[in-house]
Amino acid sequence: MRIGVVGCGAVGSYYGAKLCRAGQDVHFLLRSDYEAVLRAGVSIFSPEGDFNARPRCAKTAGEIGPCDLVLIGLKTTANGEFPRLLPPLVAPSTAVITLQNGLGNEEALAGLFPPGQILGGLCFVCLNRTEPGVVRHTGYGMIMLGEFEGCPRARTHEIASLLCGAGVNCRVADDLARAHWEKLAWNIPFNGLGVAGAAGFDAFGDSRKPIAGRRRLGDCLTTDKLLADPRWEGLVRELMLEVIRAANALGYPIPESLAEKQIERTRTMEAYKASTLIDFEQGRSIELEGLFLEPLRRAKAAGVFVPRLETLCRVLREIEMARTR
């Protein structure tokens, strides 16, 4: 299968490398990492076993041409590049899968291509890109795959089988929208609070006092630090429950017990640094729109009272504005 990977950071490189190792015809669309990957391939360091893969490398989508499958691993802050990057890769029969965080990514793709060609893949994985062409995988790796429109099709299961054959645990979601909200229940607190804590904010109220002494800007709160302090852990739980209540109000039934399951699962990650924390520390824009603001808008439109989420969004907006200034 001819597979194009757009956005070859940690997520795109990891799954693309696994497909390449499995013998698929994988093409990476690269910018800054082009020379490194062309020279040495992609190296994955993982408790499941280290390996190196040699995907084909291209600097433009036109060099790759139409694919059977396109995987999008771009940060959502780069979604404005879709019209420039994607059309040369997408034929009428191409399946386009966004592996991005948050809400609104499938809708953005549906503005360019027929909705029936679009799928979402929710990645439950602990990854960091440590240098060009090098990814460290520390745990998990499952993809929850779903159709943007309607129920799973034969095509959905075929792609899931392809990923499983490459060593990726892939499951098919009956309802992609509900799966998005289940993942948001983890992403919103652990990504958002890690950054808010780094900037010295106390997101428990309207004050801006650090709750654990002064921190230098950029000293993000990893998952273990958030769960080691009862005050931060309490806020993690409250945010999770607000997200779950919003999902239920929108017609996506999620039990409140998911919050405790996710918290206990996160304890096993030890000092994991979520992707938004890395973006913040490296001076990149955080994925504010799809990961925080759009969920807030949808929760409020459904009439759900989400004070913790609203405060977190305000704090993150102020952090981004201050960094921009």
pLDDT digits (tens, 9 = 90+) for 161-218: 999 999 999 999 999 999 999 999 999 999 999 998 877 665 454 444 433 333 345 5
Sequence letter at residue 176: L
Better pLDDT: 122 or 283: 122
Same domain, 240 and 142: no
CA angle (74, 192, 143) in 5-degree steps: 45
Q: What is the pLDDT of residue 192?
A: 94
- The whole-chain average pLDDT of the chain stands at 92
Give pLDDT, residue 323: 73
Residues 135 and 238 in one domain: no
The number of distinct structural domains making up the chain is 2
Of 25-29, 168-172, 216-220, 231-235, the least confident: 216-220
- CB under 8 A, 24+ apart: contacts of 278-285: 278/128, 279/75, 280/195, 280/198, 280/218, 280/220, 280/319, 281/198, 281/218, 281/220, 283/323, 284/75, 284/77, 285/77, 285/320
Domain that holds residue 291: 179-324
- Residue 131, token pair as written in the block: 């240098």
Q: What radius of gyration, in Å, describes the C-alpha atoms of the chain?
A: 19
Q: How far apart are the first and last CA of the chain?
A: 46
Instruction: Quickly tell me which residue has 């890109």 as its tokens.
Output: 129
> Do 229 and 205 fall into the same domain?
yes
State residue 212's pLDDT score. 37
CATH number of the CATH domain containing 250: 1.10.1040.10
Q: Are residues 30 and 169 in the same domain?
A: yes
Locate tokens 């989400």: which residue? 306
Selecting among 18, 59, 183, 261, the annotated active-site residue is 183
261 is catalytic: no
Where among 174, 207, 231 does a domain terminate? 174
- Going by pLDDT thresholds of 50, 70 and 90, the confidence category of residue 320 is confident
Q: Are 15 and 134 found together in one domain?
A: yes
Q: Are both 39 and 162 inside the same structural domain?
A: yes
Query: 232 and 127, same structural domain?
Result: no
d(CA 73, CA 140): 17
Q: Which tokens belong to 228?
A: 């080691």
Say which DSSP state 213 is in: B
DSSP 211: B
Q: Is the pLDDT of residue 324 over 80?
A: no
Quote the tokens at residue 26.
């994988």
Domain containing residue 32: CATH number: 3.40.50.720
Burial class (CB in 10 A: 0-12, 13-18, 19+), 95: buried
The predicted pLDDT at position 166 comes to: 97
Judgement on whether residues 202 and 166 belong to the same structural domain of the protein: no
Are 134 and 23 contained in the same domain? yes
Neighbours of 111 (CB within 10 A): 9
> Same domain, yes or no, for 9 and 154?
yes
Which of 159, 174, 189 lies at the terminal end of a domain, its last residue?
Answer: 174
Average pLDDT over residues 276-288: 88
Q: Which of 174, 207, 222 is the last residue of a domain?
A: 174
